[in-house]
Amino acid sequence: MIRYQTIKVAGLDIFYREAGAKSKPTLVLYHGFPTASHMFRELMPKLAQDFHLIAPDYPGFGQSSAPDHQHFAYTFAHLSQIMTEFLQKLKINKFFMYVFDYGAPIGFQIAVAHPDWIQGIISQNGNIYQVGLGEKWAQRADFWNKPTEEKRNRYRAAFAPETIKKQYTFGTQPGSVGPDGYTLDIAYASEGEAYAQRQLDLIYDYQNNIKQYPMFQKYLRTYQPPLLAVWGKNDPSFIYPGAQAFKQDVPKATVVLLDSGHFALETDSAVIADLIKTHFSEN
């Protein structure tokens, strides 16, 4: 059974999903863009016998508070800080983490600051390597280096309905992706200008995640956490060499490439659940 809960963190309501017995190893699930913790709706029941699962919505996403961007810094450093305080409120200081998309810089910032908290890592299309950046990132570099309001507004296309649906379906077999996930994401993205401004702030701030890639990689080399990189190999945003690159820093890492796209959980949740249980659950 999944439980749906909200907790106060730094004056914000942080929504999270919880499943499994607290006596089991904890696995914290960090979602990506433009989604929220509902992306784990099929994975959590498959892991609830083996893990205590926690899947939060970040501020500005899903069911969590979404303060105005003029009064709240929508940066990855700030989201990482809120997620750190969230874990501390729940008294969680030993856990495995699943990182996807935006969840990678958030999770790895927490890991760098608190390496003793991390028992293992599952990276599903959660990139921390230059070689894992697809072609679109060159265009974003131009925006970051020479930002203008016109360039900023072009990125409204990133959360247009057709873009969101394509993120889910590109690189997958026809008919293999249900409409539930992208339909809910489209609904959230339709909230209006407040949603647009906070997401545009995060798109601009993403440049700081790339600057931290060497720090994330140093963390891996230093601490050698057990690591499973499972990747939708047809993802055009975070391309599969980013999965293979983990073995440079964690030679014992397991890398699995799936015939899927960016949202590989939509097509391969059962496969990913089995891989996680094989690598990390108590037997």
Give the catalytic positions in this structure.
262
Angle in degrees, 0-180, between the axes of helices 193-211 and 103-113, rounded to the nearest 10: 50
**Cβ(32)–Cβ(100) under 8 Å?**
yes
For the chain, the three-class secondary structure string (H helix, E strand, C coil) is CCEEEEEEECCEEEEEEEECCCCCCEEEEECCCCCCHHHHCCHHHHHCCCCEEEEECCCCCCCCCCCCCCCCCCCHHHHHHHHHHHHHHCCCCCEEEEECCCHHHHHHHHHHHCHHHEEEEEECCCCCCHHHECCHHHHHHHHHHCCCHHHHHHHHHHHCHHHHHHHHHCCCCCCCCCCHHHHHHHHHHCCCHHHHHHHHHHHHHHHHHHHCHHHHHHHHHHHCCCEEEEEECCCCCECCHHHHCHHHHCCCCEEEEECCCCCCHHHHHHHHHHHHHHHHCCC
Beta bridge partners of 19: 53
Please state, in angstroms and rounded to a whole number, the distance separating the CA atoms of residues 186 and 204.
Answer: 21
List phi, psi (to 5°) of 106. -70, -50
